[in-house]
């Protein structure tokens, strides 16, 4: 008998919401026109794109003209970071050592081109020192971009995006926030946050893969990085991913419509799992905060390296349980997690990231807990 799949790796990607699939299907079949075509079939798909942009902008409290569709979070982050250097005269970037690799590797490339890269100190839970950021920005000699994740994708630690925005505003620094882990999961009002760029990816909030979003604050003269046609108001050339855009908008609308209810449900799932696992397994600890300083979707657990623990990921997979030992975006690499290394997590621990969604149930968590108890009692 085939085992029931239990998916607890929602920080890697999420299952597409059925209503999102329904919204996309017409644009995979009958509504196939090129949005740049002048006849009605093309005009209809153009209308779908612009309608999606307007609906997203309304939720975010920004102008539709400030939103650009991309292929995902990696492209959005690269566009904002490299564009700030190329077009805005940025000579220094301030970030943290636990950013996503698409940020860190971009910083590495820019450093080789002469851009100064400064990494903030973090504590043992991954929190930055806001006073250090203020001190660094008080040096006004170099035009600076601050680039930080809203929530870390491995340990869930949250950034105070409002506080960072105000600090950056005070010292005339540009602020880019990678909101890929939080977009569609936390309220985001771009009319009240002092942020210049944000990045998002639909597959992190029950939308399709291969489609993302970049917000660029009005008045920031970021130029096109890819040349060709005049798509995305001459900012991003290439025929638009119409069904992806429609899916992104639908997924974001669904997330926003049920946001408070979903936060309450998933927060309870995380709290329940943490309480039960703490009571059931001795000598466990947690990587990153587990309180209000952590996003409610992620729990990174550090297990003792005893018995069958080194094979825990494999044994859970055999039971149909999907979890991650770190970021799935680099799961093919042999190197340990740069995030856990930065937190000085002992190398002899077994670390598992559990990440929850509104589609998970208490019954699923109980099955996982029973498997974990069996592993550490043998």
3-state secondary structure of 27: helix
Nearest Cα to Cα of residue 271 among 305, 297, 245: 297
Token pair, residue 12, equals: 């890697």
Indicate the helix (H) or strand (E) that contains 68: strand 67-70
d(CA 139, CA 137): 5
Q: Give the torsion through C-alpha atoms of 274, 287, 122, 330, to 10 deg.
A: -120
* Complete edge-to-edge strand list for the sheet that includes strand 197-201: 67-70, 212-216, 197-201, 174-178, 144-149, 92-95, 116-119
| Catalytic choice (62, 177, 322, 329) | 329
Distances (CA, A) of 57 to 60, 201, 214, 230, 351: 5, 15, 12, 21, 38
The rounded distance, in Å, linking the Cα atoms of 220 and 237 is 19
100, 34, 42, 46: which is closest to 73 by C-alpha?
100
Structure tokens belonging to residue 178: 């990678």
Active site residue 322: no
**What value does the CA radius of gyration of the chain take, rounded to a whole number of Å?**
21
- Chain position carrying tokens 């010292």: 171
In angstroms, how far apart are the furthest CA atoms of the chain?
68
Residues whose CB falls within 8 Å of the CB of residue 185, separated by 6 or more in sequence, listed in order: 204, 205, 255, 259, 262, 263, 295, 296, 297
Q: Nearest Cα to 90, choosing from 108, 112, 116, 66? A: 116
Mind telling me the catalytic residues? 329
């Amino acid at each position: 008998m085939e085992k029931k799949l239990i998916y607890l790796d929602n920080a890697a990607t999420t299952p597409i919401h059925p209503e999102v699939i329904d919204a996309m299907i017409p644009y995979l079949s009958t509504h196939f026109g090129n949005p740049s075509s002048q006849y009605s079939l093309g005009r209809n798909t153009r209308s779908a794109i612009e309608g999606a942009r307007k609906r997203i902008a309304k939720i975010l409290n920004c102008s539709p003209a400030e939103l650009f569709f991309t292929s995902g979070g990696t492209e959005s982050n690269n566009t904002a970071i490299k564009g700030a250097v190329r077009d805005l005269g940025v000579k220094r970037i301030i970030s943290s050592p636990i950013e996503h690799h698409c940020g860190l590797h971009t910083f590495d490339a820019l450093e080789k081109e002469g851009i100064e890269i400064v990494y903030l100190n973090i504590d043992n839970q991954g929190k930055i020192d806001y006073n250090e950021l203020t001190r660094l920005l008080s040096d006004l000699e170099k035009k600076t971009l601050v680039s930080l994740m809203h929530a870390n994708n491995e340990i869930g630690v949250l950034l105070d995006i409002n506080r960072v925005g105000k600090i950056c505003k005070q010292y005339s620094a540009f602020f880019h926030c990678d909101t890929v882990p939080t977009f569609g999961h936390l309220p985001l009002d771009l009319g009240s946050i002092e942020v210049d760029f944000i990045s998002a990816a639909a597959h992190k909030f029950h939308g399709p893969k291969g489609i993302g979003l970049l917000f660029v604050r009005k008045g920031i003269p970021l130029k096109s990085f890819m040349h060709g046609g005049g798509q995305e108001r001459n900012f991003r050339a290439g025929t638009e991913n119409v069904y992806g855009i429609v899916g992104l908008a639908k997924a974001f609308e669904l997330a926003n419509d049920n946001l408070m209810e979903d936060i309450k449900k998933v927060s309870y799932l995380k709290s329940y799992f943490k309480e039960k696992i703490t009571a059931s397994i001795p000598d466990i600890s947690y990587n990153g905060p587990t309180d209000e300083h952590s996003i409610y979707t992620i729990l990174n657990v550090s297990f003792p390296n005893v018995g069958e623990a080194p094979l825990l990921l494999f044994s859970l997979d055999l039971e149909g349980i999907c979890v991650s030992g770190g970021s799935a975006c680099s799961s093919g690499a042999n190197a340990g997690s740069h995030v856990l290394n930065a937190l000085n997590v002992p190398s002899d621990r077994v670390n598992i990231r559990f990440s929850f969604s509104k589609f998970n149930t208490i019954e699923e968590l109980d099955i996982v807990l029973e498997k974990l108890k069996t592993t550490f009692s043998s």
